[in-house]
Structure 1
Amino acid sequence: MIVITKKDSTIIKGFAILMMIIHHAWNPQLIGIISIIPGHISSDWLFNTISSYCKICVAVFAFLSGWAFWEAKNKFISYKYIVNKCLHFLTSYWIVALIFIIVGYLTSDKLPTFKIAILNLFGFEVGVKEIMHYDYVNVVFAWYVRFYIAVLLTIPLILKIIEKTNILLVFLAIYILCILTQNSELYLVKKLLHVYFQWIPCVVIGIYCNRNKWLDKINEYNNFIILLTLLCFLLLRHFKSELYGGISIDCIIVVFFIFYLNKLCNYISSYGHKIEHIFIFLGTLSMNIWYCHSIFFLPSHKWSWLINNSQNCFIILFSTIILSIPFALLSNYIQQKIINKISIK
């Protein structure tokens, strides 16, 4: 039987956070001109393609959350437990957000207004200047905060619906709601509900994979068939990455992707202990690395030179990873001290 253990999940998160950094660090729209060999013709098309495919990292994180929700479903039907999880998650994020504000103040960056700062605390009005046009200090990749809090608050209902409702009806309802919220001008519908219905399929897929043992069923097929199916979906994704309404096709691809990542986990656990330790380390810090590498993509670009001075793709990637880790470790240390002190379990 295929099981994603807590250690497997941490290793997979390690792979996912590396993909996220590639998704951002190799995105010419965010980082500017990059090339394999500095001084030669820029290969924007190549980096755009790699960056686009690496966005599946978000689906991986959402899938693993769904798997964990079903694994501990007796805990996640308790709102007392969920409130504690929300407080823990938000407190950890608020500490990083405060560090960003302090850094912005010390470097004379433009700070958000009080209203915007409050919205930032819940993952609203955050994003890179090149796409969202925000010109103030914020944890630019923290949009997931508002999505994850919404997921936590609704997961008891989702688990009950999944227990009692046909799977096709579940996904049909999500798809219809995603379409209905797509063009709304109402703030919470546009900024929260639509994002929720765009990404909740990945969480639900994770729940079903655990509940219905889909990974075991996939494993019954010939490996060539499985790999060919994955490659076909990846090819389709190149031409059509989203369904009408905004739901990412990654919610399907992630099942096969997790299947192979889990096999890779088993392999490196058996033969590559040093590699295993590296990915456990990265996976343990993954949420903080997610937040902290935002520092290199702030609107003022005051810290961008640390990673993009050479315009070499490998140096940019390596620098972003290495320089994000100390910031993530510092955040993790402060989080543990504060959370332990206020006794958020």
Structure 2
Amino acid sequence: MVNAGRHNVADFYGKQEALFLNGIAILMMFWHHFFGYNPGRNEAIEFFTIPIGSVSLEGVVAVFCKLCVAVFAFNTGYIIWKRANDYLCYRKIFLRLLRFLLSYWVVCLLFLVVGYFIGHKLPSLTTFGWNLIGLSLSQDSGICVIFGWYVFYYIVLILLSPGLLLFYKRTRIAVDLFSLGVICLLFSRSIIALPFGSMQFLEPIIVSVVGIMTAKYQIFSRIDKVLGFNKLPKIFFALIVLFFLRLGLVKSGVFYSIYVVDALLIVPFIYCMVSFFRLSCMLIKNVGMTLGLHSMYFWFLHSFFFIDNLSVQKFLYFPYIPTIILIWGMAIMLPIAMFLGYFQNKLDNGNNTFRLIYSKFNP
């Protein structure tokens, strides 16, 4: 094991840190969707804003918070490399995808039930079938988990993971960087046309590959050995620099895809947040990890706030103050997310479904 300063290679970015980052990312996602560009938000809804010229402070923060998706994409790539044996076996991949999809499908069914009782248009059987893999997510076609597009991306990435691992286990840094450039060009410019415009849903693979490379070259431990952020002022200053750097790069339009920008910034952002995690009190750590533990359900469930129903959005935005709206929205979703997580654990532990399926694929 390589010495990485105060934290060794194995534990600098471990399970607790990743959970905490997922918690931060889901808070960022809520802020982005609540106060940033969101075609699902009714324009009649008002909330307190702090104007900055022609924009608002809330909107500017929401632009930065779009980085949330990159956190999840990075984490998936990072885990793929760290747990390579689990992602080189298609039997294990199948079970991983099955468990993930069952969790998502429960939410899809929940939305159908809610849609039926509130009189919302329901999707056709064909559209609902596409919804189940994260495609055709438009309320014009019926109620759906409108923020469920990442499901399609996750399916594709997990199926590609054995090939990615076999490739990057044989390459050196020059080839790795060249391949990353090719991926940026291929995915960010949508050279390949796929149904439902689904090519755009695959753009986060740029960040996932950065996650793979970060794990491969132990980048976090190398940064920590040089910088060693052990003071909060250092962390906050670095985060402020990243904040304005992302805003500038996004506004400049230098990069065709926002995920190219995120690929450049995601490693220093996560390093700063892990450093913050290590210096935080136990309350902050526990809150962040709790949100991270249920982040998948938070992601899917908050689509409910943006179904075509003005009353639902008024209920969300009635606190009027953005920070309180964010807390209110999380508080509404948390019990449902925890219940679904509890239900999923009971399903996994209370019967032999997955063990029986595994036995069919592992003779």
TM-score normalised over the length of structure 1? 0.87
Distance 1:217 1:316 in 2: 39
Shift of 1:176: 3.0
Distance 1:183 1:57 in 2: 25
Which residue of structure 1 lines up, in the alignment, with residue 288 of structure 2? 279
Shift of 1:154: 0.4
Residue 320 (structure 1) aligned to one of 329, 346, 357: 329
Which residue of structure 1 lines up, in the alignment, with residue 361 of structure 2? none
Q: Check if 1:203 corresponds to 2:208.
A: yes
Distance 2:301 2:352 in 1: 23
Q: 1:214 to 1:303 in 2, by over 3 A?
A: same
Q: What's the RMSD between the two structures over aligned residues?
A: 2.8
Equivalenced residue count is: 332
Distance 2:146 2:265 in 1: 26
Which residue of structure 2 lines up, in the alignment, with residue 213 of structure 1? 218
Q: Which runs of no fewer than 5 residues in structure 2 stay unpaired?
A: 356-363
Shift of 1:173: 2.1
Which residue of structure 1 lines up, in the alignment, with residue 16 of structure 2? 7
Give 1:1-345 correspondences, 5 Å limit.
1=4, 2=7, 3-27=12-36, 29=38, 30-31=40-41, 32=43, 33-36=45-48, 44-127=55-138, 134=140, 136-165=142-171, 166-178=175-187, 181-182=190-191, 184=193, 186-187=194-195, 190-191=197-198, 193-196=199-202, 198-222=203-227, 227=238, 230=242, 233-240=245-252, 243-244=255-256, 247-268=259-280, 272-340=281-349, 341=351, 343-344=353-354
Structure 2: which amino acid aligns with 1:293? H
- 323-332 vs 137-146, which moves further: 323-332
Distance 1:42 1:318 in 2: 27
Distance 2:285 2:325 in 1: 24
Distance 1:241 1:258 in 2: 24
Q: Judge conservation of contact 1:123–1:142 (CA < 8 Å) in 2.
A: yes
Which residue of structure 1 lines up, in the alignment, with residue 359 of structure 2? none
Shift of 1:283: 0.8
Q: Judge conservation of contact 1:35–1:43 (CA < 8 Å) in 2.
A: no
Percent identity over the alignment is 28
Distance 1:43 1:180 in 2: 30
Shift of 1:126: 1.6
Q: Judge conservation of contact 1:17–1:289 (CA < 8 Å) in 2.
A: yes
Shift of 1:93: 0.3
Distance 1:276 1:178 in 2: 35
Distance 1:43 1:319 in 2: 28
Residue deviations 1:315-335, cap 9 Å, x none?
321221111112212222332
Shift of 1:242: 7.0
TM-score normalised over the length of structure 2? 0.83
